[in-house]
Every structure is written in C-alpha cells, then in structure tokens.
Structure 1
Amino acid sequence: MSLNTLISTILLQLCLAPLGLAAPVSTEALDNSWQYGTGGGLLGLVVLILDVIVFVEVLKSSRPPVQKLVWCLVVFLFPVIGMIIYYLFSNRSAYQRGAGYETLA
C-alpha cells in the first residue's frame, strides 16, 4: 500500500468518524428506534432514491441552468415537499429531452 493511499484512507475515516458520533443514542428500549433521524431507515432510503431520480431528471432536462439550480435547491432543502412540488408544478413534458419518436426518412 502506498503512502498516498494510506493517508487518503486515514483522512476519509477521520471525516466520516463524526457521522458515527452524531447518531442519537437511546437510553430507552429499542421500541421506537425507527423514529430517529430522517424518518427511519427504510423511509429515508425511499425518499433518498426518489430525490436522486428528481435530480437526474432535472439535470437531464432542457431547462435553462438557473431553473435547474432552483429546482435542485428546492428538492435539496425540502426533500419530500420539494419532490411533490416538482412533480405537480414543474411542467416536465415541456422540458423533456428526446421525448417522442423521430420520423424516419
């Protein structure tokens, strides 16, 4: 293992260590442990996957860069509500790239 790899591994572990310390510690029974954090493990994972889908859809669209930035910020700052607002009010059909079929010559 080279020195650069070793140093980068140590730095990565030092950067990730505070995340483990930031997790809530329950002194109660583990009955309500699913309520900690961002809504629980499975619910948080579903929201994360749907938000990533929204980010990819926004970034692949033909919107101007300012509109892309605004939509990404809305979804990033308000993950659930921003995703709902995007799907209801974004006029996605007008900005789809490659939508529809091309006519053959």
Structure 2
Amino acid sequence: MTFNTLLSTILLQLCLASLGLAAPVSTESLDNSWQYGTGGGLIGLVILILDIVVFVEVLKSSRSPVQKFIWCLVVFLFPVIGMIIYYLFSNRSSYQGGSGYETLA
C-alpha cells in the first residue's frame, strides 16, 4: 500500500467518523426537532459539502503527500476557518493536477 493510498484511506475514515459525531445527543426534551440533534442543520450541511470539495481538490492536486496531509488536517480540524485559509493562501493554480490523464504520443 503506497503512502498516498494510506493517506487517502485515513482521511476518508476521519471524514466518516466526523459524520458520526456531527449530531450531538441531547438529553433535554425534543420539543423542537430542528434544534436538537441536527448537527448544524442546513448551514452545517453546506459547510460539510464545501469541506468535502476542498478534500477532493487537495487530494487531486499535484502537491506532495505531506502538503496534502497538512491541508486536509487544517480543513478537518477547523472546517470553516480552514476552508477560508485554503482558498485564500493555498496557491491552487500552481498545483492543479489537470484531468489526471496522460496525453498519447
């Protein structure tokens, strides 16, 4: 198993674990189901989707595995701030991987 495959597997497992922990368990009465146990509601869902887009973009880039790991860790630990930092300071245009296919001679 290569380092990139191992790194991708670990990041996927962390993402899936964060989904399991996203909805807090409340011991209070559940009078308003939109308020308790939704894990952030619609705003949380939008942030989750945007974070997944960042993870895919980072993993498909031509960065070194260490840089990929650091960017994914920043976005995982600080979802909103990490995403903003990534889009402002990551120099995405120089690391775009392209289509992923090699041209034929």
Per the TM alignment, residue 37 of structure 1 is displaced from its structure 2 partner at its CA by: 6.1
User: How many residues are aligned here?
Assistant: 79
Q: Which has the higher contact order (CA 8 A, sep 6+)?
A: 2
Q: Residue type matched to 2:25 in 1?
A: A
Within 5 Å, give how 1:32-71 maps onto structure 2.
33=35, 38=39, 40-71=40-71
Contact 1:26 1:33 in 2 (8 A): no
The structure with the greater share of residues assigned to helix is 1
- The equivalent of 2:29 in structure 1 is 27
Which residue number corresponds to residue 82 of structure 2? 82
TM-score normalised according to structure 1 size: 0.63
Does structure 2 conserve the Cα–Cα contact (< 8 Å) formed by 1:54 and 1:83? yes
User: CA distance change for structure 1 residues 57 and 32 in 2, over 3 Å: closer, same or farther?
Assistant: closer
Structure 2 unaligned regions, length at least 5: 1-19, 100-105
1:25 counterpart letter in structure 2:
T
The yes-or-no answer on 1:72 pairing with 2:93 is no
TM-score, normalised via structure 2 length: 0.63
1:85 & 1:73 partners in 2: Cα distance?
12
Q: CA deviation at 1:33?
A: 1.3
RMSD (Å), alpha carbons: 2.8
Relative to structure 1, is the Cα distance of residues 60 and 32 closer, same or farther in structure 2, using a 3 angstrom cutoff? closer
Structure 1 unpaired stretches of 5+: 1-17, 100-105
Following superposition, the deviation at residue 50 of structure 1 comes to 0.3
Structure label with greater radius of gyration: 1
